[in-house]
Structure 1
Amino acid sequence: MLTLNRCMQALALCAAFAALPAAAETPQDILDGFTVEAKTEAPDFQGFDAERGKLFFNSTHGNDWSCATCHTSNPAASGKHAKTDKVIDPLAPAVNAERFTDLKKVNKWFKRNCGDVLDRECTSLEKGDVLTYLMAIQ
């Protein structure tokens, strides 16, 4: 039988664990999530493609901007926002270990940037192709 003191210790321990930050995702975890989404969007999904991602990243899509407009054609290098001139850290996870480790941030930035470049949200296939390309950069 637990004493009041042991119950208080157990509650304190639970509170301490609850206060810890959630484990960071890896770029592969994020990509795996895009895979699940892509299979839902297109039952004939055959996988992501780095070359298709590179082409998407460097192409304009009806607007004057591409992903490379701000992130440069070398995602291992720093970029600069086209309007604000704010420096943007490299996108390639190999040179920026913080990239693609927080699903909430990944979704936020894909939504915002796809809106700027495409005037719509990216599909899971587009996001997965781009991430596959970025993960291939060393």
Structure 2
Amino acid sequence: MKYLFVLPLCLLAAPLAAQSTTPADLVAQYSAEAGTEASADRGRDLFLATHTGGKPDTPSCTTCHSPDPKAMGQARTGKPIDPLAPSANSERFTDLKFVEKWFGRNCNSVFGRDCTAAEKADVVAWLSSL
């Protein structure tokens, strides 16, 4: 009888588990969502540019992540940020929920809006190319 309660609890916990993915899978998913092919060049330009729509203290992705995505970054709070490039950090872009969480926060901070699927595809394509 006690096993009847275990199965429903396991089924409830399943959606909370990390959704494993790869950088290539993300590029494909975001590109399909956007209806356009990803461009590493556009991703680089977006990442390195200074923007005006978001918070004044985060005008660029490089504000926290550094201009070199293979290097450590630093949050405004002083907390270190692991490198963004998958070649320097094999954990990057392997958990869909985590990726979406941080795109949500960072895009709103830098751009003052959510990133488009095309922008996400471009940035992940560029970071994956490094």
With the shorter chain as reference, the TM-score category is 0.7 to 0.9
Identical columns (%): 47
Compare CA radii of gyration and give the structure with the larger one.
1
**Residue-pair matches, total:** 116
Segments of 4+ moved more than 4 angstroms: none
With the length of structure 1 as denominator, give the TM-score of the two structures. 0.76
The runs of 5 or more residues in structure 2 that have no matched partner are none
| SS in structure 1 of the partner of residue 31 of structure 2 | helix
With the length of structure 2 as denominator, give the TM-score of the two structures. 0.80
Which structure 2 residues correspond to residues 64-75 of structure 1 after superposition, within 5 A?
A: 64=56, 65-75=59-69
| SS in structure 1 of the partner of residue 67 of structure 2 | coil
What letter matches 2:68 in structure 1? N
1:27 alignment partner, one of 20, 23, 26: 23
1:88 aligns with 2:86: no
| SS in structure 2 of the partner of residue 108 of structure 1 | helix
Deviation at 1:86, TM superposition (A): 0.8
2:38 alignment partner, one of 48, 52, 56: 48
What letter matches 2:29 in structure 1? G
Higher relative contact order (CA 8 A, sep 6+): 2
Q: Deviations over 1:19-59 (max 9, x none)?
A: 8x6672111111111012111xxxxx2x1111111110011
Matched residue, 1:119: 112
Computed over aligned residues only, the root mean square deviation of the Cα atoms, in angstroms, reads 2.0
Deviation at 1:127, TM superposition (A): 0.7
Q: Label 1:23 to 1:85 Cα distance change in 2 as closer, same or farther (>3 A).
A: closer
What is the distance in 1 between the residues matched to 2:121 and 2:28?
Answer: 9
Matched residue, 1:5: none
